[in-house]
Structure 1
Amino acid sequence: MEKIVCFGEVLWDCLPKGLFLGGAPFNGACHLRKLGCRPIVISAVGDDFLGEETLQRAQAQGLDTFAFGIKKGLRTGVAKVVLDDKGSASYVFPEPCAWDRIEISDSARAELSSASAILFGSLAARSESNAELIDSILSETHALRIFDVNLRPPHDDRKTVLALAQKADVLKVNEDELAVLAGKPFSPDDLEDAVKAVIDNTGVRKLCVTLGSKGAAFYDGRRLLTAESPPVEVRDTIGAGDAFTAAFIAGLVRGDSPQELLERACRLGAYVASCDGATPDYDSSILQG
């Protein structure tokens, strides 16, 4: 069973219809678990009700929680979510919160040497202490380094994100993030040029771009591949990108063909977009074409 370390924020999405546990690393871990991997989430929660509920729900999802820190004096993270009429979300992340002060336990550190991959994002690096911890973790593992860019204003400094991207083996972005890292406006007709610009700017070897309803593209180090997203009726887009990332990572660490893993990732991302919430129940057979 492939071990995947997921570093970063665990938080509650505050929607008009209720509170939903999420955060990109947590969502990704839940999907990786469904896909037969062993995810290890390195994060932190507050010593409060939402923190207790986070641990209980993580365990109910089949996740190990030994790498979750409990931070006294800091609240469990929340995200205030606003959905537009197309189901797309925008976010506000009150700070400071527990995941701004992640620490790594000895037991979690011991897992790094045998991990197949480590997934980290840009949002958790908004605090200096987390950014330093990411550097430390990456220096201690030979695992595949996957950087899932997650630009959420005002935590979207281009210089910081480029520096993180330079530490990665694989970069995953959406269209807007591709434009930021390329340093120029993006249109689908310019996809190949934009991908080349990001590779030149970061030195990353592999780059995956999600294109919403149009699917995704993957530069695998030799060529640019594309896959279409199956048409669905979108309920909300929360967690769809995280589901895509999980399927993409699972395929990478298992050595699946680049075209096949890209197509499966598109199918899972589309399915989650057609459901309520970031981690709906499903059978892995939905990944089959």
Structure 2
Amino acid sequence: MSTSSSLRLAPLIVGEVLFDQFEDGRKILGGAPFNVAWNLRGLQQRPTFVSAVGDDLDGKTIRQRMAQWNMDLVGLQTLPGQRTGTVEVSLDQGQPSYEIVFPCAYDFIRPVPLFESADSFSLLYHGSLALRGEQSRETITRLGRQAAAAQVPRFVDINIRQPWFDRQWLPVLVQDAKFVKLNDEELEWLSSMPCQTDDQILRAVQSFRDQHGGEVYFITCGSRGAYAIEGDQLTFAAAPKPDVMVDTVGAGDGFAAATIDGLLRALPYQEVLDRAVQFAARICTLHGATTTDENVYRTI
């Protein structure tokens, strides 16, 4: 994946788009794949976002917001009879908890014939939440096969949101993935191994990778920082302290977007991580996960 070809082509982002509904009445546009696509656009990439919304006010608002942010709308499906995704968010000392409504439009993402040639896209990104719906799971699985056939690398972002996660999805999620991202708590749960130190995290990744696949792992550790692990090589970047901590909603998605941006620019892992933890800290100064403030995306 050369730098010139990667920057010329669009990353393909697939999965949920929804509104985060906060206790104080605020509604903020979100969903991990949507946040990643939005932030990639801010970072001067040209993502194609594939998802589904309802034929309702929230769906129309999402379409308008994407257009205002100059995002490609070709992959956004409107499904009459399905409601646009909603998550009830509550905060305890800045840490979010979620009540995710089911079913929603993004559980019914239809197949899209997007991979027409080996150079169609620079990268395929998807998470894990959208796999809860059988239709979306089939669509994402099909896109994964098409990406593999076209030699397009796949970036998998594991976001465990109980009860919407099933270990049986792991072959779909991880097998043949070039890049896998998850946090230290998710790694500990999935590997059944402690993940407190560098050596423990390395061993847990190696054990999980031996069982399920994946090549390069990005492990986020909250305020401590993040790792990139390839083979037995471990790279670490300490997280900077946010200027003003507002909340951590979307920080992991910001990390994923900045990581993908760095990978598409063919940066070394240390620089990829340094930029990604810096950008994630910047997201923590916002209410929610997205912004139209171009200054947030400068000088990462």
CA distance in 2, matches of 1:113, 1:46: 32
User: Offset of 1:184 from its aligned partner?
Assistant: 2.6
Q: Does 1:96 align with 2:103?
A: yes
Question: Structure 1: 5+ residue runs without aligned partners?
Answer: none
Aligned with 1:89: secondary structure?
Answer: strand
User: Offset of 1:16 from its aligned partner?
Assistant: 2.1
Which amino acid counterpart does residue 235 of structure 2 have in structure 1?
L
For the structure 1 residues 10 and 231, does the alpha-carbon distance in structure 2 shift closer, same or farther, using more than 3 Å as the test? same
Which amino acid counterpart does residue 97 of structure 2 have in structure 1?
S
Q: Is the 8 A contact 2:29 2:290 kept in 1?
A: no
**1:26 counterpart residue number:** 34
CA distance in 2, matches of 1:185, 1:221: 19
CA distance in 2, matches of 1:46, 1:249: 29
TM-score, normalised via structure 2 length: 0.90
Encode CA deviations 1:194-219: one digit per residue, 9 max, x unaligned.
12122212221110000110010001
**1:41 counterpart residue number:** 49
- Aligned pair partner of 2:76 in 63, 68, 72: 68
Q: Is the 8 A contact 2:108 2:134 kept in 1?
A: no
Aligned with 1:139: secondary structure?
Answer: helix
Encode CA deviations 1:129-183: one digit per residue, 9 max, x unaligned.
2111112111212211000001001012223235411241110001111112212
**1:184 counterpart residue number:** 193
**After alignment, is 217-226 or 146-155 more displaced?**
217-226
- Aligned pair partner of 2:180 in 157, 163, 171: 171
Which amino acid counterpart does residue 175 of structure 2 have in structure 1?
Q
**After alignment, is 51-60 or 274-283 more displaced?**
274-283
Aligned with 2:86: secondary structure?
Answer: strand
CA distance in 2, matches of 1:124, 1:77: 11
**1:9 counterpart residue number:** 16
User: Offset of 1:122 from its aligned partner?
Assistant: 0.5
- Aligned pair partner of 1:139 in 131, 136, 145: 145
CA distance in 2, matches of 1:46, 1:237: 28
- Aligned pair partner of 1:239 in 216, 240, 250: 250
Question: Structure 2: 5+ residue runs without aligned partners?
Answer: 1-7
**2:265 counterpart residue number:** 254
CA distance in 1, matches of 2:36, 2:191: 25
Q: Does 1:196 align with 2:203?
A: no
- Aligned pair partner of 2:223 in 196, 206, 213: 213
Aligned with 2:240: secondary structure?
Answer: coil
Encode CA deviations 1:9-57: one digit per residue, 9 max, x unaligned.
0000000231111101111011101111110110000011111011001
Q: Is the 8 A contact 1:76 1:98 kept in 2?
A: yes
CA distance in 1, matches of 2:16, 2:144: 17
Count, aligned residues: 285
CA distance in 1, matches of 2:56, 2:194: 43
Which amino acid counterpart does residue 128 of structure 1 have in structure 2?
E
Query: Structure 1 vs Structure 2: percent identity of aligned residues?
Result: 37
TM-score, normalised via structure 1 length: 0.93
CA distance in 2, matches of 1:110, 1:57: 29
Which amino acid counterpart does residue 64 of structure 1 have in structure 2?
D
* Structure 1 moving runs of 4+ over 6 Å: none
CA distance in 1, matches of 2:146, 2:156: 16
**After alignment, is 127-136 or 145-154 more displaced?**
127-136
**2:66 counterpart residue number:** 58
Q: Does 1:279 align with 2:286?
A: no
Aligned with 1:90: secondary structure?
Answer: strand
Which amino acid counterpart does residue 106 of structure 2 have in structure 1?
W
CA distance in 2, matches of 1:11, 1:135: 21
**2:4 counterpart residue number:** none
